[in-house]
Structure formats: C-alpha cells, structure tokens
A = this chain, B = another copy of it.
Amino acid sequence: MRGGLVTLGEALGVVAATDPGPLAPGAAMRMDFAGAEATVAVGVRRLGHESAWTGSLGADAVGRMILERLRAERVDVSRCRIDPELSSGLMLRERRTADRTRVTYYRRGLAGSRLSVNEIDTAQIAAAGVLHITGITPALSDSARAAVDLAVDIAAAAGVPISLDVNYRRALWSPGRAAAELTKLTSRADILFAGADEAAMLLRTGGSETLVSVAESLAALGPSEVVLKLGAEGAVAWADGVLLREEAVPVTVVDPVGAGDAFAAGYLAGLLDGGSVSERLRLASLCGAFAVSVPGDWAGLPYRDELGLLDGADVQR
C-alpha cells in the first residue's frame, strides 16, 4: 500500500446539551471533542488506511482526552504540539430545539491557534497518499495558515494529491478574507469538497446554476476533481468531464454535525483504496450515513467490516 492520509488542524473539547431546550442550571451535557480534520483522520483509519493528524493542544484534561482517543484509533499524533501555557479550546453546544444547535466557541488565543510550521514534517507529507486540508485551519492564526501553506508546498513538490474541504466558517474570518484565501487554496487542490453555499462564495454566484456548471466553474479554479455535498439530496462528483450522482443513504438522523467530514473521509479512503469515482462516492455516502445516525462527530464512523450494516442489508437479527 502506498502512504495514507496526512492532515492538520484544530481539535476542540465539546460540551453539548443532550436534550433540546435553552441552557439551564442542571441541564445534562455530554463531553466529547470535535475537529473536522481529526474526524477525517479517524474515518480513513477505521477504513483501513494509515492516517496522521497534527495539531496543537493544551497540557490539560481536554488535550489528553483528544490525544488518547486518536491513539485509540491508531491515528498518528506523534507530531502534535502540547502547549505548556495555553488551554485546549472548547465549544459549548446548546441544542436549542430538536433540529437547531447554537454554539459558543472558546478558542481565540488558546492552544489550537499555535499550530505552526514547527509541527510540519516534510518526510511524513512527502510519503503520504493524500494531504487533506480544510478552510478552517488557515483562519485560526497566522502561524496556522503558514503551516497549511508549507504542507501544501511539500505535497505539491512531492506529487502527493491535495484534498481541500472548503469548510467556510463565518465566525472565524470575514467573507472577503475568506474568499481570497480559500480561492488561493482551491487553486492548489486536486480534490475539492464544497457545499452549495461554499461553491457560491468561491464563484461569487447566486447559487442558481446547474450542478454541472458549478462543478465545471470550480474545476476551472484548479482542482481536477470536484465533489459537491448536497445534504439530504446526496452528493455529486465531477471528474474528467463526467458528473456522477449518489443518493444519500436513508437513515434516522440523530446528529447531523460531522456528516461532511465523514463524507470526505469515505471519499478519500476510496481514493486510497484505488477505487473509482463511483466507488468513492458510495463509500463517502455510507460514511456520512453512519455519522449522522450516531451522536457526536466521529464516534459513528464505520469500520470496514461494518459497512454492510447500512449497505443494502436489512436490520440483522
């Protein structure tokens, strides 16, 4: 097997309300952690490929929890930075109604933003099967953006495919700065994951174009492979002038957060499998279905031997 996935980014502790309603004294919460890139690393690893995640964490309970769980998953965390002074970041999730969450972030100026080029290992990236980055990391801090840029430079030089999930977060930067930076990253990516809103932001369009024209316009920015995530409508992948569509796997949705990262994990695992675009899409769709039918961002991700549970087969006895 060729090398696996390498990724870098931020992981935060999560404290999420278990029941719908405004936060109130005595409300039951649940501890967890989240991070788009770490979720992708876990997803690819569960499907049987090597993966590595690099980030900066505090020397505290949250940082330890995150590292331990990633080690449990056999994700390579050996390049992570443990900050001796700053706390790990945290997000507080109110489940305002059964369908709507509201999040307060505690991340600004905390350990995660100290990710820097010091954590970048040239040999590791050069040997990877794919480098995966998101639009979140460059928004964290100047040093984090520099780390992403260096990683991209190394991958490009070594001929390692670069995967970019746009993951535009309004809370982290202004639309103007985001569009500029994300367009630059898009121009260097081989594979691009985007939602409809994100595509519109990159293309400065109104979002009413056909899927084919959106995909082609995005491809014109650089990537040879464009994957559009359409939520309940499934997803499409454009490559070599062909647009393939995959329906969403019908499941009971208990927590939609993390679906996009699970989808990317499945797609990239399919890439590392050497599968066709159609096979990648199917694996991506299954991973997304597993993720949304389990609470939390990463816990539901499927192991290779579990795919059959949602793949055609009926409930087993």
Contacts and interface: CB of A to CB of B under 8 A. Distances in A.
Interface of A: 13, 15, 17, 19-33, 58, 60-62, 64-65, 68-69, 71-74, 87-88, 90, 92, 94, 96-106, 108-109, 169-171, 251-254, 256, 289-290, 293-296, 299-300, 303, 306, 309-310, 315-317
Give the oligomeric copy count.
6
A310 B97 contact: yes
A316 to B, nearest CB: 7
Contacts of A317: 103, 169-171
23 contacts: A15-B15, A20-B294, A22-B64, A22-B299, A23-B65, A24-B25, A26-B299, A27-B31, A61-B92, A61-B102, A69-B72, A87-B105, A97-B251, A97-B290, A97-B300, A97-B309, A97-B310, A98-B251, A98-B253, A98-B294, A100-B310, A100-B315, A169-B317
A20 B295 contact: yes
B100 A296 contact: no
Residue among A29, A94, A315, A316 with the highest chain B CB neighbour number at 10 A = A29
Contact of A100 (B22, B68, B316): B316
Contacts of A101: 315-316
Given A23-B61, A28-B31, A171-B317, 12 more contacts: A22-B65, A24-B25, A24-B68, A25-B299, A29-B29, A61-B94, A87-B106, A96-B294, A96-B306, A97-B252, A98-B251, A98-B254
Contact of A32 (B25, B71, B306): B25
A219 B74 CA distance: 43
Contacts of A171: 317
Contacts of A69: 25, 72
A62 B92 contact: yes
A29 B13 CA distance: 13
Residue among A13, A71, A317 with the highest chain B CB neighbour number at 10 A = A317
Given A31-B29, A32-B25, A299-B22, A104 B71 contact: no
In order of increasing CB-CB distance, the 9 nearest A-B pairs are A72-B72, A29-B29, A97-B293, A98-B252, A27-B31, A68-B72, A98-B293, A106-B106, A23-B61
Contacts of A289: 97
Contacts of A22: 61, 64-65, 299-300
A243 B100 CA distance: 32
Residue among A87, A92, A101 with the highest chain B CB neighbour number at 10 A = A92
A97 B311 CA distance: 13
A31 B17 contact: yes
A40 B171 CA distance: 35
B96 A20 contact: no
A25 B296 contact: yes
Contacts of A25: 24, 31-33, 65, 69, 296, 299
A108 B185 CA distance: 33
A104 B309 CA distance: 15
B31 A315 contact: no
